[in-house]
Amino acid sequence: MPQDLKTTTNRSRLAVILPSRGMMMSRTMESVCNNIYGKEAKVFMAHNLPLPICFNYAIQKAINEYDPDYFWFVEEDMLIPDGTLDTLLALDTHACGVDYADRRTGKRLSFVNKKGDCLYTGMGCLLLKREVVDKLPIPWLKRMVFWLVETDDGDVDYLPKPDIAPTGYGSQDIYLSHKIREMGYKIILNTEIKVGHMQLEVKGEDIKNNGADEIKIVYVDGDNPYKMGEIGTEELSKDAPNADDILSKK
The boundaries of the domain holding residue 110 are 12-237
> Is pLDDT at 46 greater than 90 in this prediction?
yes
Assess whether pLDDT exceeds 60 at residue 168: no
Question: Mean pLDDT, to the nearest integer, of 156-174?
Answer: 59
| Separation of alpha carbons 97 and 99, rounded Å | 7
- Name the E strands within the chain: 14-19, 41-46, 70-74, 78-79, 95-98, 110-112, 118-121, 125-129, 147-150, 156-159, 187-190, 196-202, 214-218
Residue 96 above 90 pLDDT?
A: yes
Does 110 fall in a domain?
yes
Tally of structural domains, the chain: 1
Q: What is the CATH number of the domain that holds 51?
A: 3.90.550.40
Would 186 be classed as within a structural domain? yes
Burial 50-86 (b: 16+ CB within 10 A, else e): ebbbbbbbbbbbbbeebebebbbbbbbbbbbbeebbe
* Average pLDDT estimate for 83-107: 93
Q: Would residue 6 count as lying in a domain?
A: no
Look at 144 and 96; give whichever has higher pLDDT.
96
Phi and psi at residue 135, to the nearest 5°:
-90, -10
Please determine, for residue 244, whether its predicted confidence score (pLDDT) is greater than 60: no
Q: What percent of the chain has pLDDT over 70?
A: 72
Residue 214 lies in a domain: yes
pLDDT score at 113: 78
Q: Is 219 exposed, middle or buried (0-12, 13-18, 19+ CB in 10 A)?
A: middle
* Average pLDDT score over residue span 152-163: 56
Is 248 exposed, middle or buried (CB count within 10 Å of its CB: 0-12, 13-18, 19+)? exposed
Q: Which of 69, 59, 27, 42 is closest to 195 using CA atoms?
A: 27
Whether residue 3 is contained in a domain is answered as no
Kindly tell me if the per-residue pLDDT of 233 is higher than 50.
no
Give 170's pLDDT tier (boundaries 50, 70, 90). low
Could you tell me if residue 27 is inside a domain? yes
Q: Is the pLDDT of residue 108 over 90?
A: no
Whether 2 is covered by a domain: the verdict is no
Measured between alpha carbons, how far is residue 102 from residues 11, 36, 230 in Å?
34, 25, 14
* Residue 121: partners with Cβ closer than 8 Å, 6 or more residues away: 97, 98, 99, 109, 110, 111, 173, 177, 187, 189
Residue at 4 is within a domain: no
**Looking at residues 198-205, what average pLDDT do you find?**
84
